[in-house]
Structure 1
Amino acid sequence: MSILQKLRTVLGFSQEGEDTSSTNPPTSGDAADDGKTPVDIVTLDEAYAAYQGGARFIDVREPTEWDNGHVAGAVHHPVGTLENQPEIAVARDKPVVTYCAAGARAARAAAALVANGYSDVSALQGGYGDWAAAGYPVERPDDDTAS
């Protein structure tokens, strides 16, 4: 079974891509008895605390979304690419927070990383717009520095 097939099974998607799970992404509490990969979902404040603590932020949005602004210091790995090749240039035990626009892609990406041996992965509940609206550090293409 390929990593993509495993991920689809973990996340409750059928072969056709139809969501067969509940409307909530898997969380660490859901995984004990159902064989799903645990994914910790963190609030905006928890994500910012992780950011301040040196966590690596992974933006899993599409390139056009990334180009419109992203978390300062984040690296870009679109979710489709990350699901097919769940490798990032980060030690497998370093804290990682994935984020997207609303949370669903971040949870999928986090699950792919956990399934591939990354041990400290969280997905941001909400998304980049919430991060920027809170006044947390962002980078935009027209900016020379993070704000």
Structure 2
Amino acid sequence: MTTPEPRIVNVLLVEDDPGDVLMTREAFDEYLHNRLDVVTDGAEALSYLRREDPYTDAPRPDLILLDLNLPRRDGREVLAEVKDDPELRHIPVIVLTTSRAEEDVLRSYQLHANAYVTKPVDFEGFIEAIKQIDHFFVSVVQLPSGREGS
């Protein structure tokens, strides 16, 4: 009996900080073997998720890593729209932010975030956090297939 090939998971990172994007890409390139797409603001994230131009061929993400403080549409607005959309609400959303404010944590969960992770400030801690998110959401839990309607 052969072991099935592990499924490649499509991850969408919604992040406007170039340093955090670079560290996340490095974590994916070095340690993880999943696809990472990046958009840099909330309006772009919603266009990507809705497959609007120029994202008409974008894969449906299996997991969204969402910063809260974004230009154009903030992460709270993106989270609310994703969880209100029947086509998107099944996608797990991990809020990945620098905010430790209790009101941000509470509001994110009220908007149905699947997890809230405060970004570590040091490189090693950040890489470890990304690896743990990946391990949990890729290896431990069963994700719904993001391929319906693909």
TM exceeding 0.5: no
TM-score, normalising length from structure 2? 0.32
Structure with the greater relative contact order (CA < 8 A, sep ≥ 6): 1 or 2? 1
TM-score, normalising length from structure 1? 0.32
